[in-house]
Amino acid sequence: MAKNDITFYYFDLRARGEISRLILACGGKNYKDIRFNFEQWPEYKPKMILGQCPVLELENGLQLPQSLAVARYLARENNLAGKNNLESAQIDAVIDTQLDTYNKFLPQFFEEDETKKKEEMEKLLSVNMPILVENLQKLRQAYSGKNSKYFVGDSLTWADLFVFDSIQQLLHGLPGAKEKYADQFKEYLDPVTSDARLKEYLKSRPDFKVI
């Protein structure tokens, strides 16, 4: 590994970090993938610009926080952010639509009130997931190129990677989601799973730890 590689810091989880790892894998560039557990976090926290992670540290030491700012930067650097301004906006619309559900899902892992958590998870399954299915279909129909298997235009973008990652997390972490929705999301997962640039990373990445 070259001395001046960029460095990506995040917990040894997928959660808010995996989208950037997927983009980096797709781009094929070397980077240091620094993963830590909750016990090790106090050692890293003071070194992170906002005391939070994920953080991308560039070759010159500059730190970028905020998972989506990092992912968007990496997507642009790796030609996964659309061919023009309009495609970039369509990609953002897909991602924000996915976030409407994902941002309700992620905090449940920190919810200590088990009754509340169960209620929220049930609501996600029966109310938010059907809306997500419908909204993703609408956007895909409107933005995908003719005969394209991708969300926007005719090539893989970080919208495909984001939906792939977020759906995998939901199918894994939301009780009942796999049984109910796996078939409906298959067409969004397949183009990513079969992308040659990602095969090695998807085969070798750590398995789920909670999410």
Ligand X SMILES: N[C@@H](CCC(=O)N[C@@H](CS)C(=O)NCC(=O)O)C(=O)O
Task: Kindly indicate which of the ranges 19-27, 47-55, 92-100, 130-138 contains the residues binding ligand X, using the contact rule CB under 6 A.
Answer: 47-55
Task: Kindly indicate which of the ranges 64-72, 92-100, 131-139, 199-207 contains the residues binding ligand X, using the contact rule CB under 6 A.
Answer: 64-72
Q: Which is nearer to ligand X, 15 or 24 (CB)?
A: 15
Q: With binding defined as CB under 6 A, does residue 108 bind ligand X?
A: no
Q: What b/e sequence results for 132-157 when a residue is b if at least 16 CB atoms lie within 10 Å of its CB, and e otherwise?
A: beebbeebbeebbeeeebbbbbeebb
What amino acid occupies position 159?
A
Q: With binding defined as CB under 6 A, does residue 7 bind ligand X?
A: no
Q: Which is nearer to ligand X, 109 or 118 (CB)?
A: 109
* Cis peptide, bond prior to residue 54, ω within 30 of zero: yes
Token output for 73: 């930067």
Torsion angles phi and psi, residue 64, rounded to 5:
-110, 120
Q: With binding defined as CB under 6 A, does residue 45 bind ligand X?
A: yes
User: What is the smallest separation between the CB atom of 142 and ligand X, expressed in angstroms?
Assistant: 27
Closest CA to 102 of 136, 142, 56, 153: 136
Task: Kindly indicate which of the ranges 26-34, 51-59, 155-163, 170-178 contains the residues binding ligand X, using the contact rule CB under 6 A.
Answer: 51-59
Q: Which is nearer to ligand X, 96 or 187 (CB)?
A: 96
Q: With binding defined as CB under 6 A, does residue 15 bind ligand X?
A: yes
How far, in Å, CA of 126 to CA of 188, rounded?
20
Q: With binding defined as CB under 6 A, does residue 71 bind ligand X?
A: no
* Residue from 6, 8, 14, 16 binding ligand X (CB under 6 A): 16
Residues with Cβ within 8 Å of 163's Cβ and at least 6 positions away in sequence, in order, are 94, 95, 98, 136, 151, 188
Q: With binding defined as CB under 6 A, does residue 52 bind ligand X?
A: yes
Instruction: Return the SS3 of 65.
Output: strand
Q: With binding defined as CB under 6 A, does residue 194 bind ligand X?
A: no
- The residues of the shown chain that bind ligand X, judged by CB under 6 A, are 15-16, 45, 52-54, 66-68
